[in-house]
């Protein structure tokens, strides 16, 4: 019998042992918890907190399963969201429901009615973490403390159950979801799961439901630091099922097909293997292996080099992990409560949670309100003009994600052959990295044709030009294409800064021309700017949006203004840094000036990554279109002409400016870094105010989404607008905040 409710009762559909018999696998003399334990059940702790929306609420579906060989009863709790189309998350009402379900099953275990407890989720999702929407509404530290204490009071029931507990991990197990699994005695995971992790530090908070205390005991301190500190710092790299097995985070990886059946067999075998499961509450953190570097000191050095004091949550997580071994369970959980309470209402956490909502799956906060207004046209084949590196990346992405044939065109046989090799190399890399299997790789290579005849693109539903960034060249390409392709074929440009409207000018059908700006490297960068030119029709725009989303990208729709969003904002920042150097600030001082923001790289490292010729081209374009706010840089011109490299490897292994490039800018004077930071902040506030006034995007959320996904702007800043608001630059420059109070900052 199966039944579901927010606070379920539990029935049994399998034979039960007599109440006086201890089931096989029952804990041997479980110790009482040390310390006072939780002060109140979640229903009381959370009474004054706002609840999650009804469709978010966790449902607990309880069923009994007979273990083979008269092994007794396994109580299986399946966790899903009330709306099963949503990721399963834990909010206040969900914690109350789970607490009541676990209390009920504990009573049954104490009466000898169940031999073990399994907790699982629906296919593809175990539990994706806490409900971030609720976390962003907390008013003060007491609210944060209540949420932390309620999580501990609930999840610790699994670690203190009088019978063994097992997490059957079916998919995403993130944050509080992975912490739930850590409280269990055992964890098994479906093969192919790629999203295990504790990303809380990147959200401005800490794993506050037992993760910091439990993780070092399970995997050791070095692996715990890697999982909870260094992986979130490195762009939130998640852990796969196979990696989790290698580190000891899980006990087994089981086939995804028929996972419940395999998990039941594994659980039964484990229970048969021994009558007692050791209680982990008194377990010590394993010592760091001899000769291995101190993981805490190593991580602290990385944090200092990367963040320079920004994003304090990382340091809090590191401290909790380092001190976990010296604290008993109750002391460790209280320390997590205190850290979580302090951080949840901080500006950094509010900004990071705002960023997570913007970039999360299915987010609507940054969705453009005025949609394309038409259905997308079907795209069954794609043409690409050009076969350079960007074009080859587009061919591989669109060919694999859309599962369509791709025809590429170059101007001569030599360049076409080079393009073919690029495609083959990119596919080989994808196969080597496990992104494609070998058969899929071979099929993809076979479906990409590279030639010199533009007529090969005649049957395409979408043609993307990816030729050199010269307006007249792109206009000539579109004029020639228009004579070859069908009238309903969408023509897209991958330009990063040029006018899409100007490219369409003079065509017989300018309405089908749109901007489809992918970022480099195409496979990794999650953003696409879809640009509406002056005459772009609704169906062409809808098709471009649909193609980008089917390719796995997040879309920001913009109007056709120079640089769109990302390049316009980034180049304003770089232009102001270069102008400061031209005014006499030493290059080393200017390059280090933005460190307080904790950006992923310094200005000169960004210039090197983008490529100096590309940066100069975009700067000249924006100068010509937008004027002296984007001053030309003679120093940059000299560096491009000399073919110079502008960075070197710094002491922490990160790129920093090479002091030798000072000679391209002339003698240094006495400028200071604070003045550079102020200059950049003032310029960014001005530029964002102007692009919003021009209607490039309808609101600041789209600016933040674009900067987070297209420029790697730090999540702990919430993008760019929360930082400008928090530091007062929005009001000083624009006379107003960009975001409403409390959206991405602590309540007043």
Active site residues: 179, 200
**17: preceding bond cis by omega (within 30 degrees):** no
Question: What is residue 120's three-state secondary structure?
Answer: strand
Hey, how many other C-beta atoms are within 10 angstroms of the C-beta on 521? 11
In the sheet that holds 186-190, the strands lie side by side as 3-5, 58-66, 73-81, 116-121, 165-169, 186-190, 252-254
All residues at 6 or more sequence positions from 419 whose CB lies less than 8 Å from its CB, including other chains = 386, 387, 388, 391, 392, 408, 410, 450
Contact 658, 647 (CB under 8 A): yes
- What sign does the CA torsion over 421, 426, 429, 435 have? negative
Residue 127 is encoded by which pair of tokens?
């539990």
Question: Which are the contacts of 222, defined by CB distance < 8 A and separation ≥ 6?
Answer: 288, 289, 292, 295
Closest by alpha carbon to 206, among 127, 317, 95?
A: 317
Residue 72 · residue 19 · CB < 8 Å: no
- Between CA 268 and CA 271, with CA 270 as vertex, the angle to 5 degrees is 65
Residue 569 to residue 684: CA distance in whole angstroms: 7
How far is residue 544's CA from residue 529's CA, in Å, rounded to a whole number? 10
The helix/strand/coil state of 513 is strand
**3-state secondary structure string across 172-221:** EEECHHHHHHHHCCEEEEECCCCCEECCHHHHCCCCCCCHHHHHHHHHCH
What DSSP character marks residue 651? Answer: T
Residue 102 DSSP SS3: helix
Give the Cα separation of 638 and 375 in Å (integer): 49
**b/e for 616-626, b at 16 or more Cβ within 10 A?**
bbbbbbbbeeb
- Report whether 256 contacts 212 (CB < 8 A): no
| Inter-residue contact 515 to 493 (CB < 8 Å) | yes
Task: With H, G, I as helix, E, B as strand and everything else as coil, classify residue 442.
Answer: helix
In the three-class reduction of DSSP (H, G, I as helix; E, B as strand; rest coil), residue 533 is classed as coil
Q: How far is CA 485 from CA 62, 75, 482, 493, 541, in A?
A: 59, 62, 6, 15, 18
Tokens of 666: 């002339």
If you count them, how many residues does the chain have? 748
- Cα 433 to its chain centre, rounded Å, is 19
Token digits for 685? 């506030």
**Residue 210: which residues within 8 A CB-CB, separation 6 or more?**
151, 152, 155, 156, 159, 179, 182, 183, 332, 333, 336
Kindly calculate the radius of gyration of the chain based on its CA atoms and give it in whole angstroms. 28
Question: CA-to-CA distance for 539 and 548, rounded, in angstroms?
Answer: 14
| Three-class SS state of 606 | helix
């Amino acid at each position: 019998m199966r039944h579901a409710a927010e606070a379920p009762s539990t029935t049994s559909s399998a034979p039960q042992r007599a109440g006086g018999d201890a089931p096989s696998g029952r804990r041997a003399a479980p110790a009482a918890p040390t310390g006072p334990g939780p002060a109140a059940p979640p229903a009381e702790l959370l009474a004054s907190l706002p609840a999650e929306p009804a469709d978010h609420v966790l449902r607990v579906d309880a069923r009994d399963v007979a273990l083979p060989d008269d092994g007794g009863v396994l109580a299986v709790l399946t966790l899903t969201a009330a709306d099963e189309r949503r990721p399963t998350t834990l909010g206040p009402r969900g914690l109350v429901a789970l607490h009541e379900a676990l209390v009920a099953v504990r009573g049954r275990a104490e009466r000898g009615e169940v031999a073990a407890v399994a907790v699982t989720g629906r296919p593809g999702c175990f539990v994706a973490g806490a409900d971030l929407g609720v976390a962003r509404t907390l008013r003060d530290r007491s609210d944060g403390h209540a949420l932390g204490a309620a999580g501990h009071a609930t999840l610790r029931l699994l670690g203190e159950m009088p019978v063994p507990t097992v997490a059957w991990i079916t998919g995403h197990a993130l944050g509080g979801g992975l912490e739930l699994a850590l409280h269990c005695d055992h964890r098994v995971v479906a093969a192919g799961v790629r999203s295990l992790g504790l990303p809380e530090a990147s959200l401005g908070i800490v794993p506050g439901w037992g993760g910091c205390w439990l993780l070092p005991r399970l995997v050791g301190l070095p692996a715990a630091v890697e999982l909870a500190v260094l992986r979130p710092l490195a762009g939130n790299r998640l852990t796969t099922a196979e990696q989790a097995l290698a580190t000891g985070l899980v006990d087994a990886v089981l086939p995804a097909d028929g996972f419940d059946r395999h998990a039941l067999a594994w659980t039964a075998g484990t229970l048969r293997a021994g009558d007692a499961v050791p209680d982990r509450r008194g377990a010590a953190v394993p010592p760091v292996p001899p000769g291995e570097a101190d993981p805490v000191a190593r991580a602290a050095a990385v944090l200092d080099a990367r963040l320079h004091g920004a994003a304090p949550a990382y340091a809090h997580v590191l401290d909790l992990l380092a001190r976990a071994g010296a604290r008993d369970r109750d002391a460790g959980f209280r320390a997590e409560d205190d850290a979580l309470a302090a951080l949840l209402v901080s500006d950094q956490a509010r900004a990071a949670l705002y960023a997570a909502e913007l970039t999360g799956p299915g987010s609507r906060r940054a969705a453009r309100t005025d949609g394309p207004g038409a259905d997308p046209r079907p795209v069954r084949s794609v043409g690409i003009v050009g076969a350079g590196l960007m074009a080859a990346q587009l061919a591989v992405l669109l060919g694999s994600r859309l599962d369509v044939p791709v025809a590429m065109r170059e101007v001569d046989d030599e360049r076409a052959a080079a393009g073919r090799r690029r495609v083959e190399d990119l596919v080989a890399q994808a196969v080597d990295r496990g992104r494609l299997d070998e058969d899929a790789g071979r099929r993809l290579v076979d479906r990409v044709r590279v030639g010199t005849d533009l007529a090969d693109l005649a049957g395409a539903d979408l043609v993307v030009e990816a030729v050199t960034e010269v307006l007249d060249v792109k206009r000539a390409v579109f004029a020639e294409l228009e004579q070859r392709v069908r009238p309903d074929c969408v023509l897209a440009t991958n330009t990063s800064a040029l006018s899409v409207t100007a490219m369409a000018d003079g065509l017989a059908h300018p309405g089908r021309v749109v901007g489809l700006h992918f970022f480099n490297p195409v496979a990794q960068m999650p953003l696409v700017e879809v640009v509406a030119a002056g005459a772009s029709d609704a169906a062409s725009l809808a098709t471009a949006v649909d193609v980008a989303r089917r390719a796995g990208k997040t879309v920001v729709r913009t109007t056709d203004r120079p640089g769109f969003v990302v390049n316009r904002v980034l180049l304003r920042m770089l232009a102001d840094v270069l102008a400061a150097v031209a005014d006499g600030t030493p290059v080393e001082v200017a390059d280090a000036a933005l460190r307080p923001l904790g950006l992923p790289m310094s200005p000169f490292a960004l210039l090197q990554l983008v490529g100096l010729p590309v940066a100069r081209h975009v700067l000249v374009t924006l100068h010509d279109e937008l004027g002296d706010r984007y001053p030309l840089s003679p120093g940059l011109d000299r560096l491009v002409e000399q073919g110079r490299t502008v960075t070197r490897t710094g002491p922490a292994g990160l790129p920093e400016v090479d002091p030798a490039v000072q000679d391209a800018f002339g003698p240094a004077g006495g400028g200071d870094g604070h003045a550079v930071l102020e200059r950049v902040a003032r310029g960014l506030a001005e530029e964002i105010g102007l692009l919003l006034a021009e209607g490039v995007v309808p609101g600041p959320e789209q600016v933040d989404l674009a900067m987070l996904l297209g420029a790697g702007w730090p999540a702990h800043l919430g993008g760019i607008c929360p930082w400008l608001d928090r530091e007062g630059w929005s009001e000083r420059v624009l006379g107003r905040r960009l975001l409403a109070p409390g959206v991405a900052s602590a309540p007043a």
